[in-house]
Amino acid sequence: MTNFKNLPFCFLSLTVFASPGYADETPIQLEGVTVKGHQAAIYSANLNEKSVSGSRLDIDIIDLPASLDVIDQDLLRKRGARTTLEAVEGAAGALSGNPPGAPGVHSMRGFSNSDISHLHNGMRITSAGMSTRPLDTFNLERVEVLKGPASVLYGEGALAGAVNFVSKKPSRDAVESELYLSHGSFNTQRVGFGSGGVTDVENLFYRFDVSQQNSDGYIDRSGFEYENYSGSILYDFGDLEISLEAEFTEDDMEAYFGHHEINGELPSRLRKTNFNVADEITEQKSHWLRAVVDWQASESFQLKNVMYHYDANRHWKNAEDANVDNTAGTFAVTGFFEVIHDQEIIGNRFEAVFNDALAGMQNRVLLGFDVNQNRFKNTGSNFAFPDVVVDPFNPPALVFADGGNDPTVPNRKTKADSLSFFIEDQLSVSDELILLFGLRHDDITVDSDDLNGNTFTKDYSETSGRIGTTYKLADNLSVYGQYATSIVPVASLVTLKESRKDFNLAKGKQAEIGIKHSFLDNRGHWTASIYDISKEDGLTRDPNDPSKRIQIGEQTSQGAELSLTLQVNDQWLLESNASWLDAEFETYNTSSGDSLKGNTPANVAKKTANVWLHYQANDIWRMGGSNRYVGEREMNDANSAQMAAYSVADFYVSWQAQHLGDVTFRVRNAFDTEYSQWSEYGDAHLLGDPRSYEISVYRKF
């Protein structure tokens, strides 16, 4: 685990990065001129921004008939969101978890894991449970969280929504660079440097960013290291733009699989104990390569083509669980598990946009296709490891070999070929009424080989769509409604086993209505929505024969979300959001024959709320705080154990130092709340961090 031992010295050396003219500046006094004021526009995002993730038609957020949360880089930094997990938690109703078996997953609108798509610059990898990883936010321009079914845009898997991580892009302005350094509790450190702008070559622009974040972690042996390198170049020919983009990420995490209750309690003595093996492995190396051609052929015709390549290598080697014997007071460390993923995706997405009148009405239509091949090889063990019984209050230093010597060998190769055709149309019936229509058809062929001579092929052919309308009661006030459908695999397609090849894709649908309003000359905006979403044809046990699985499962959720942002004046900014939902299983049977009808899915909170308050005292000082509330959640689908509701408060103060930049001191979990953030394997609490401190420096030059 890499540590920046000289980081404090870096803070003292920041003036090295200052522009040479800074030290030579001579104060200039102008007689009779007095300048007073504060840093205005603490927050600049508004509903008139273009939607990156909610549509491919560059629709203003206020005209989009869907719920979309946008957290740009400036807001990420002010909120103190270090990782993509913390960033997404800022969206209304969103929860984040970091279970080592599926790092970086989320929950929203009553669904979680693979029912939510994770995108990188609009590109999807595969089912979220196996491909997501937490990232440092420094390299990102923004994070967008689209709520509700999004298969019409991103294909299978986007039932409850899609989270899009958008990288920083080249600027056409003069060269500007950024530097970020921070140091905090648990030896947590961040370093980020980026630069972008014009080059000596006319019409050639660039951007690159590098960042690293590492920590020892609060729990014993729970440290991590994230590295992210991203860059792009853009050449502007006038009507034609060509860009080449690359991203490289690497992470190495010391896995911690949670804490188990003993006689209904979490003993304080065990809150820092990690029962995983000392020689654990949880790591990934990946890269994205993209070539983008954007041609504005005329005012009414545009072509865009994206060629993309993704490659990832993942490795897990852990003891992932423990069975508690309350009578004997012992733990049986179990779940010894090793698996290696080799994944490669190559594809091409093409779009053509036509902007013209239709029967006298302004009409904008997009036609496109996406073709890709996803190759996947799984190497793993047969999981025939015995349990190892330990004293939880005096556990030995286990290593992986203590669980046995079950060999790790290649056991499955899969190739998934996908071809999709899509259309999206925005029709302005009048100045007030806008219609949005979308349709997508996906053809997917999965070829699977278990490397023992058993092969099979499975074909899927599904269509998803949405229809929505927005009515503008005024230029800054709109109401909307939308109906959308989605398709969801019952298991990750690249790990599909023969026992599940005969099942079809599950289906999802949602109806949503809402309102969006900007006021006070765009210094404030609020949104509200209510929705009804359901998933059908999920897998469940046959009530007549629990040893068999059948495809009649159903899950529903109804809820409401509300958000408010108010720039009261140049000094005060208020941000807030809240969500309420009621999610339950309609049809879900267990292997023991029990029905879970009426139960709440795991890791779903019925109530959540966020509030941030920022105060710009003057040009030099800024301060603020936040509070996050998450209601009670079930630890498993059987609802046999719960995670208590919690509330966590953070505070910060920032000093604009002339020769350093923005120096911020932040206290996280200021009242040292003990809470469970996520549930792993249905009975293990993944604990949130206690009170911690951080000092950071951010400078643009």
Q: Check: CB of residue 542 under 8 Å from CB of residue 549.
A: yes
Mean of per-residue pLDDT scores for the chain: 89
Of 394, 397, 396, 398, nearest to 269 by C-alpha is 394
The alpha carbon of 449 is separated from its chain's Cα centroid by a whole number of angstroms, namely 32
Look-up of token digits 């440290």: 223
CA distances from 245 to 139, 208, 239, 371, 530 (A): 13, 10, 20, 19, 38
For the chain, domain boundaries: 7-30+48-700
Higher pLDDT, 15 or 102: 102
CB 482 within 8 A of CB 472: no
The pLDDT of residue 37 is 37
Average pLDDT rounded to a whole number, residues 634-655: 95
Residue 201 to residues 197, 206, 208, 232, Cα–Cα distance (Å): 11, 11, 17, 15
| Per-residue pLDDT reduced to its tens digit, 529-587 | 999 999 999 888 878 777 788 877 899 999 999 999 999 888 999 999 999 999 999 99
Q: Give all strands (DSSP E) within 543-660, no chain letters.
A: 545-567, 572-587, 607-616, 621-630, 633-634, 642-643, 646-657
Provide the strand spans (E) within 168-223: 176-184, 188-198, 204-215
What's the pLDDT at 129? 63
Query: Cα dist. 78→432, 488, 495 in Å?
Result: 36, 36, 40
Query: How many other β-carbons are positioned within 10 Å of the β-carbon of residue 77?
Result: 19
**Nearest residue to 211 via CA among 306, 77, 121:** 77
C-beta of residue 242 within 8 angstroms of C-beta of residue 222: no
Q: Has domain 7-30+48-700 been given CATH number 2.40.170.20?
A: yes
Determine what percent of the chain falls in helix, strand and coil, rounding each to the nearest 5.
10, 55, 35
> Do strands 176-184 and 188-198 pair parallel, antiparallel, or not at all (unpaired)?
antiparallel
| Nearest-angstrom CA–CA distance, 234 and 238 | 12
- Closest by Cα among 536, 466, 506 to 127: 506
pLDDT for the residue numbered 36 = 37
Residues 468-503: tens digit of each pLDDT: 999 999 999 999 999 999 998 888 888 888 888 888
Cα Rg, the chain, nearest whole Å? 26
Q: What is the pTM of this model?
A: 0.90
